[in-house]
């Protein structure tokens, strides 16, 4: 075999592999589960209680999330009630700066953040 034939075979193999991986990485719409309203309500309640513990909507300058934490920048750090935040379901709270706090939520942080974002709008 010459080098041109080998390149063509390699190109076909690469294209097939890419198509296979791409087709497997997309969401399968038939297998997609419908959102459980009870779960969504649970996250909404957690978000609502955490927001109260942080001092309410008016005390939040910004909010975001990372792997397991909700990250807040607050106006008045004295309004943050750590016991109330923990009672809402958080496993802990970290204060890396005077007006910053991170609420450790766990693996469901995105679901809680989505509900929190609705409350902050």
CB of 98 within 8 A of CB of 109? Answer: no
How many CA atoms within 13 Å lie on the side-chain side of 57? 7
SS3 state of residue 75:
coil
> Of the residues 8, 19, 66, 94, which is catalytic?
66
Residue 81 CA, chain-centre distance (Å), reads 23
Active site residue 101: no
The Cβ of residue 66 has, within 10 Å, a number of other Cβ atoms equal to: 11
Nearest to 84 by CA among 73, 93, 94: 93
Active-site positions? 66
């Amino acid at each position: 075999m010459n080098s041109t034939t080998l390149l063509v075979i390699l190109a076909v193999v690469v294209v097939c592999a890419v198509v296979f991986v791409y087709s497997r990485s997309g969401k399968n719409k038939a297998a997609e589960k419908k959102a459980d309203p009870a779960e969504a309500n649970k996250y909404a309640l957690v978000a609502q209680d955490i927001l109260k513990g942080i001092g309410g909507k008016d005390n939040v300058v910004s909010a975001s999330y990372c792997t397991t934490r909700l990250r807040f920048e607050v106006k008045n750090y004295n309004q943050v009630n750590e016991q109330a935040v923990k009672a809402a379901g958080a496993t802990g709270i970290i204060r890396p700066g005077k007006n910053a706090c991170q609420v450790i939520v766990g693996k469901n942080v995105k679901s809680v953040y989505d509900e929190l974002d609705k409350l902050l709008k």
